[in-house]
A and B are shown apart, each in its own frame.
Chain A
Amino acid sequence: MSVLIYAENVDGKFKKYAFEAVSYGASLAGKLGTDAIALSIGEVAEEELLSLGKYGAGKIISIADSRLDILENAAYTKVIAEVAGKVDVKVVVFASNNTGKALAPRVSVALHAGFVGNAMSLPLEVEPLMFKKMVFNGKAIGYIKLKSEKAVLTLARNSFGIHESPKDAAVETMEIALDDSLFAVKLKDRHKITGKILLTDAEVVVSGGRGMKSADNWGPLEEFAEVLGAATACSRPVSDEGWRPHEEHTGQTGKIIAPNVYFALGISGAVQHVAGVSGSKIIVAVNTDKEAPIFEVADYGIVGDVMKVLPQLIEAAKELKEG
C-alpha cells in the first residue's frame, strides 16, 4: 500500500504548493502506516527531484516524455493511474490548483476511487477514511466518508503548510506507454506570467472594491501590494466596470483564494465576495461604513476612507520592510 503525491513542476522547479502536498502526503502515509511516494512528470533535474525527500517522500518516481510537455489531461491521467496501480495506491494526493482540479477527478474515475475536492485536514478517521472540507462556499464544513477502497483528493491550499521530515529518498525513472490517441490538443501560444505574484499563489493579497471609486485610484493600492510582496485582486463590479482585469475578480464566480492575509479595501463584503476569500487566515477591512458586512468576517479593521488610510499603510509597511 502507498500514498502517491503528484508533485507538479513549473519549468523544472517545484513550487511551495508541491512541497505542501508532499508534506501532507507524508503525514497521511504515517497515519496509514504506509509509504509516501512522489510522482513527477516532465523534465526535472535529479537534485530538484531529491528535494522532495526533505518533506517526507521516501521515493520519487520520475516520468519524462516530451509529449507530456503540455498538460494533456487524458494522457496525464493514464500515467498517474498506471503508476498508482504499480505502487498499490491507497490515496492519491493533488494540490488544489488548476492542474490538480483538471486531473484529480479523471484519476478518481480511472481508479474507481472516491473523490474529495479541497480536503482541509488529515483524515479524522482511517477506517473508513473521513476528511473535512468546506461546503456551500465556506458557509459550512462537511465531513466526508469514503465508501471505496481507494481515495483521490485535492488538498486545499495553505490548509496544511510545509513540514520537513527528511527521508533518504531515491529517484526511480519509469516509462509508461502512451497511445497517440490520448493526445488531442495543439499548443498555439503560451504566455508565462513573470515578475508578478500570481493571485492563487500569493500569501498576501490586497484587494479593492467599488469603494476605490475609479480606475485611476489604483496607484496607492498597487504600491501597498508591491511593498508587501502581495498580489492584487478586486471585487466583481470592479472587473465588470473594466477598472481591473477579470483575472483579479475574486469571489464565488471568480477566483477562490486562501492567502494568509486578505486586505479588503472599499469592499462591502457581500456573501458572494466572501465566498471566495473566507479561507483566508486573516481578513483586514477598510471601509467608511462601520455597518458594512465585511466587518462581520474581518479580524482587523479600520473605519475610514481608504484613500486617506492607504498612504499611512504604505509608509508603515515600508518602515517594516526596511527594518
Chain B
Amino acid sequence: MKILVLISNVPDTTTKVKFGDGNKELDVSGVQWIINPWDELALTRALELKESSGGKIEKVSVITAGSKVVEPTLRKALAIGADDAIRVDVEARDAYEVSAALAEAVKDENFDLILAGIESSDYNNSAVGGMLSEFLSMPSISSVTSVEQEDEGFSVKREIEGGTEVLAINQPFVAIVQKGIAINPRIPSMRGIMMARKKPLVVKEVSAVGALTEFDHFELPAPKGKVTLVDADNAKELIRLLHEDAKVI
C-alpha cells in the first residue's frame, strides 16, 4: 500500500501580513514558510500508520504544487520521514488549478490513501482535498479525526453535523483531516535532515488548466476600537454591558 500526503507551503502563522503591488498580492519579503499545520498532522499520522503496518504500507509520499521556491518545505517533509516527494511545477493560482495539477500528476500512481489537511492557513478555503477527490473520481471522507488500518481497508472517524461517525472503507480514498488525527506533529531529527538530502524529489510537468478565481485585492481589517475595561470587583457590570450595550447575551 502507498499513502500520499498533500503539503501546502504557507507563511508561518506569526507572520505579520503585508501586501505589495497596490494590495494585489502578499508581500513575501521576510516571510518564513512552513508546512501547513494540518498537513503536518496528516504526515505524522501517515508515518505512524506505515510504522505499525508490519510492512503492509510500503511508502509515504508527499506532494505539492508550486515553483522551485516550495522545495525547502518538501525537504522538511522528507526530513520528518516521508520517503519521496513530488513537486508539480505550476504556478498555483487557485485551489481549482492546484487540484487539477495534483490530479494529473498522481492519476496513474494508484495511491491507496490520500491525506489532505482540512484547510490551509493562507487562503482558508478548505478546498483542495475535496476537489482532488472529484478530479480523481475517488470517494472522500471529510472532517476526519482518526484513521486506523483494519482488515483490508481502514476505519475512519469523522465529525458530522451534530455528532460523530465511524466508517469502514476498503477501497482507495481521500481523507480530509483535522486535529485529532495526530495530536503533536513530528519534528525533523538531525538524522532525518541528513537523510532528506538523499531522498528523491521528483519534478512533474503538467498541462495548465487555468484558475477559475482570482484575488482582485486585499485589505487589512480596520483596527479594533479600544477595549472597554470593567473593574474586577464589579464584574457584574460586564454582564450588564453585554446585555444592554452589545446585546449579545
Contacts and interface: CB of A to CB of B under 8 A. Distances in A.
Interface stretch (B59-67, B70-78, B120-128, B193-201): B120-128
Interface residues of B, number: 90
Nearest to A260: B248
A253 B37 contact: yes
Majority SS of interface residues in chain B?
A: mixed
A295 interface: yes
Given A98-B143, A115-B131, A300-B242, A141 B219 contact: yes
A108 B96 contact: yes
Nearest to A97: B161
B224 interface: yes
A154 to B, nearest CB: 8
A135 B218 contact: yes
Contact of B17 (A140, A295, A299): A140
A142 B215 contact: yes
A147 B212 contact: yes
B17 A116 contact: no
B220 interface: yes
Contacts of A254: 179
A45 B129 CA distance: 34
B130 A103 contact: yes
Contacts of A284: 238, 242
Given A101-B142, A135-B123, A187 B220 contact: no
Nearest to B163: A192
B106 interface: no
Interface string B187-223: 0000000000000000000000011111111111100
A185 B168 contact: yes
A254 to B, nearest CB: 5
A145 B238 contact: no
Contact of A73 (B141, B156, B249): B141
B184 A240 contact: yes
Interface in B229-248: 229-232, 234-236, 238-243, 246, 248
Contact of A102 (B140, B164, B249): B140
Interface stretch (A25-33, A165-173, A301-309): A301-309
A244 B128 CA distance: 31
Interface string A143-155: 1111110000010
B166 interface: yes
A309 B121 contact: no
Nearest to B13: A272
Most chain B CB within a 10 A radius of its CB, from A101, A190, A249: A101
Interface stretch (B1-9, B43-51, B82-90, B169-177): B169-177
Contacts of A228: 249
Given A72-B139, A141-B221, 13 more contacts: A8-B161, A101-B126, A104-B127, A105-B99, A105-B130, A108-B131, A109-B99, A118-B126, A147-B213, A147-B214, A148-B213, A282-B248, A316-B236
24 contacts: A11-B162, A73-B139, A97-B161, A102-B143, A105-B134, A108-B127, A109-B96, A115-B96, A139-B221, A140-B218, A147-B210, A147-B212, A147-B213, A148-B213, A188-B168, A198-B162, A252-B13, A281-B246, A281-B248, A296-B224, A299-B227, A302-B231, A309-B235, A313-B239
